[in-house]
Amino acid sequence: MAQFTQVETGETLEQPEGLRGVVADISSDQRAFKRVSWGKAMMWIFLLSDTFVFGCFLLAYMTARMSTPVPWPNPSEVFALHIGGQDVPLILIAIMTFVLISSSGTMAMAVNFGYRRERGRTAALMLLTAALGATFVGMQAFEWTKLITEGVRPWGNPWGAAQFGSSFFMITGFHGTHVTIGVIFLLIIARKVWRGDFDTERRGFFTSRKGNYESVEIMGLYWHFVDLVWVFIFAFFYLW
């Protein structure tokens, strides 16, 4: 048995060695999560599980694309916009990507100002992030409407392999749902920051402690994850 001193009480405690010590260490929350709040730890666990879900979706997409004998639709043609009398390939997707990546920058600045307790700038940057996220969802809705009008369905499309429609709506729809949920929570937390709930110890959702601006960082973790997932969707779905 190894011994260590508990800082809070000064009491000397015995610690099991080997594998039992590892189990006791993690289960007693004395090492692995000693300096991490439960809110942040639970967000990381959620993001890890969501990574597996998106990973399975992208693997399924690659499997369907490589296994079908029918030619796969050309993304440059499918996602082109007719501008000035000619088709411009992937212009809408490029703008969507720029908007979402830019929102990751404004979210990072919001977290920075949040820990400085600059309430006005934090709320303003979170609202700007939410506006960029809503813009992304709006452009995605336009993209869906355009493709549905042109005949794309989950069971088929006029350009080739039938799996294209189901893959497109499943992957982009699931990601768009994540962005929409993120926008809603950004507005909720921005309102609480603006009202000063984290400074006045006003109790409620996300505000159980005074000055708990960590909620802004936890929201930032989720938002950066959503942006990172889009980079993979953009590479696999639109550039391949």
Give residue-wise pLDDT tens across range 110-133: 999 988 888 899 999 999 999 999
Locate 105 and state its tokens: 């920058």
Can you tell me whether residue 65 is helix, strand or coil? helix
Range in 50-64, 101-115, 202-216 the model is least confident about: 202-216
Per-chain mean pLDDT for the chain? 83
Locate 5 and state its tokens: 């001193």
DSSP state of 88: E
Confidence (pLDDT) at 207: 46
* Nearest by Cα to 208 from 41, 43, 39: 39
With bands split at pLDDT 50, 70 and 90, how would you rate the model's confidence at 62?
very high
CA-to-CA distance for 154 and 28, rounded, in angstroms? 49
On the question of pLDDT at 22 being above 60, the answer is yes
Confidence (pLDDT) at 118: 87
> How much of the chain, in percent, has pLDDT values that exceed 70?
81
Locate 109 and state its tokens: 């600045």
Tell the residue number behind the tokens 């490029």, with chain if given.
Answer: 94
Locate CATH 1.20.120.80 in the chain: 37-238
Q: Which residue has the higher pLDDT, 36 or 135?
A: 135
CA-to-CA distance for 16 and 22, rounded, in angstroms? 8
Whether the CB-CB separation of 193 and 122 falls below 8 Å is answered with: yes
pTM for the structure as a whole: 0.81
**Residues 158, 93, 65: CA angle, nearest 5 degrees:** 45
Q: Which fold has domain 37-238?
A: Four Helix Bundle (Hemerythrin (Met), subunit A) (1.20.120)
